Amino acid sequence: MSTYIIANWKMNPATLAEAKRLAVGVKKALGKEKRATVVVCPPFPYLATVAPELKSSTVALGVQDISAEPKGAYTGQVSASMLTSWKTRYAIVGHSERRALGETNEHVAAKARTSLDSNVSPIVCVGETERTEDGTYYTFVAEEVRALLALLKRKDLKNVIIAYEPVWAIGKSAEEAMSPDALFEMQLFIRKLVTEKFGRPAAAELAILYGGAVKHDNAAEFMRAGGVQGLLVGSASLDTKEFAAIVAAAVAPQGKPEKALGKK
């Protein structure tokens, strides 16, 4: 299975010229990267400019949201099939910043379904808003994952990516990120939920990523000790050097992250 490093630019950068510069920077730094599938998700209005910049590179293009409806009278929404014009193969759905606007688990699952039906791989975000001693965050995440699984078929699993993003870690410093040990437990839990429904071999085909305060100095540890197949990067993806260092750290051979970061 590939390692996925996804850049979520969110509502950044402020201008088209900056978006173009960022795309050119990513292409220069990572355009030949084959050890990981690097996906850049800019805001919709920048797609037409970013797409040609990434065309002759290994960097793939994604979006930050998609409509749950395939077509029709839905003001302000973008359908999955529209994305094929830009060869967009990935769509983040259910990011916590969208769930905060009222998207339910069922709505997010419907977006993932529509996305799959248009041959776009959904990157489905799940994650608790807070961690309390009583462990209710497991129930919270289980409900999000089960709503998704309810709309999936076994053959979908190789095209679905689940990004576990504890909401309390998003936008924080590296020190405030989740511990790799806690991440290891959660990714096991998510994979167990998938195994319960589809069996072990099918569950093994699903990629689980981590997101929330990922930086170049914690990326390797999330990959090695956290047991995930990739990372979803927010703010750090707006700095090309930092983002390239995250990719290098994530794909570094086990036990040698320093070398990938260019340190002695």
Which of 66, 109, 233, 250 touches ligand PGA by CB under 6 A? 233
Tell whether residue 127 is a contact of ligand PGA (CB under 6 A): no
Tell whether residue 91 is a contact of ligand PGA (CB under 6 A): no
Which of 95, 97, 128, 144 is the catalytic position? 95
Our CA angle for 132, 234, 166, nearest 5°, is 15
CA 261 to chain centroid:
22
Active site residue 216: no
Asked if omega into 253 is within 30° of 0 (cis), the reply is no
Active site residue 107: no
Which of 103, 128, 144, 165 is the catalytic position? 165
Which of 236, 244, 250, 252 touches ligand PGA by CB under 6 A? 236
State the residue number with the nearest CB to ligand PGA. Answer: 234
Which of 110, 214, 249, 260 touches ligand PGA by CB under 6 A? 214
Estimate the crossing angle of helix 16-30 against helix 240-251, to 10 degrees.
30
d(CA 68, CA 57) in angstroms, rounded, equals: 30
Angstrom distances, CA of residue 223 to CA of 58, 81, 207, 228, 230: 21, 33, 12, 5, 7
Tell whether residue 166 is a contact of ligand PGA (CB under 6 A): no
Contact string 28-57 vs ligand PGA (x = CB under 6 A)? ------------------------------
Q: Is 196 helix (H, G, I), strand (E, B) or coil?
A: helix
Residue 76 φ/ψ region, left for φ over 0, alpha for ψ in the -120 to 50 degree band, beta for the rest: left
Q: What is the total count of residues that contact ligand PGA (CB under 6 A)? A: 13
Annotated catalytic sites, by residue? Answer: 95, 165
Residues that bind ligand PGA (CB under 6 A): 8, 165, 170-171, 211-214, 232-236
